Amino acid sequence: MGTKEPDVAPGRAGDVAVLGQESPLGAEVCRMVTASGYRLRPAGSETSALIIASELAVPAGPLVSRLRRRRAARRCRQLVSAAHLARDRGAVRLVGLSSAFLFGRHTALASDRSWTWAAPAETADALAVEAAAETFTELGGASVVLRLGWTYGRADRVTRRILAAGARGWQLLDGPPGIRVPTVEISDAAAAAVAALSAPTGLYYVTDGHPRTQGELTGTIQAGLGRQLHPLADARWGHGPLFGHHRRVDGSEFRLVTDWRPRYPDAADRLGQLCRAPENQP
């Protein structure tokens, strides 16, 4: 994975910019950056590090998917330009938040760089982030790419859609019940981004290490809401490419090289808590 570069530490070149902070994950990253003692600076200013956040888009039909793919090239150009600008302004490190769902039927290794293979349209932003990280490396900077599991949580758009449907009696995760889904709670994902500011350069998967099956997650949601859910039979969800294939990644390598550990080690427990919140009760 490479050698460890000097830390970008608070009080010593500790300025960090965050791109994508308008997203729920990006906003959480900004909160964690500030809480960890770094100085949050506007994108495009002189900083020591740049964090680029992406998130899973809510699955949609074929038309929206085509539009997302068309926009992907523009997004890629924007982020590559941001990588150039950050390097010009003195940034020595880029942390890119990508997605473990880039692949279809594939078991990916942390050393695998064939990220253009069979990428779902919902991960188009993640592809652009990885392109920016590669550009930053080519310019002589140090890049860390984190391929995150499903960043579920109260603010996550996919989670909100699933819980809102559940409150109305619909089961969105209605694909093969044995499919395992890598997960990481959204605040844990943001904390991993901060840990990556001093991690060895390379590509890592970041999950809670306890992938649940779709059947287990559905059971948790039903128990939390206190009602039986009816399958929606929507190909954009359980039967589509996003949550429709095994992704056997556990994120152990990132935990080995950093002090990061998830506060929420089991998505089933945390989703149950979210389901029991008053706003999600039918």
Compute the average pLDDT of residues 263-274.
Answer: 94
Are 128 and 72 a contacting pair, CB within 8 Å? yes
- pLDDT for 115 equals 41
Compute the average pLDDT of residues 73-88.
Answer: 93
Any residues with CB less than 8 A from the CB of 65 and at least 6 apart, and which? 121, 122
127-184: per-residue pLDDT in tens?
A: 999 999 999 999 999 999 999 999 999 999 999 999 999 999 999 888 888 989 999 9
Sorted by where each starts, the structural domains of the chain and their CATH numbers stand as: 15-160+182-210+249-263 (3.40.50.720)
Residue 254, number of CB atoms within 10 A of its CB: 26
56 vs 135, residue with greater confidence: 135
Q: Which residue from 36, 63, 41, 69 is spatially nearest to 187, judged by alpha carbons? A: 36
- pLDDT for 57 equals 85
Are 149 and 251 a contacting pair, CB within 8 Å? yes
110-136: per-residue pLDDT in tens?
A: 444 444 445 778 888 999 999 999 999
- pLDDT for 241 equals 74
pTM over 0.85: yes
Whole-angstrom distance, CA of residue 224 vs CA of residue 171: 13
Altogether, the residues listed in the chain come to a count of 282
Q: Residue 2, SS3? A: coil
Any residues with CB less than 8 A from the CB of 201 and at least 6 apart, and which? 1, 2, 3, 5, 137, 142, 143, 144
Parallel, antiparallel or unpaired: strands 212-213 and 39-41: unpaired
Per mean pLDDT, which range of 104-113, 214-223, 270-279 is the poorest?
Answer: 104-113
- pLDDT for 71 equals 80
Per-residue pLDDT band at 86 (split at 50, 70, 90): very high
Per-residue pLDDT band at 282 (split at 50, 70, 90): low
Are 257 and 200 a contacting pair, CB within 8 Å? yes
Whole-angstrom distance, CA of residue 245 vs CA of residue 103: 9
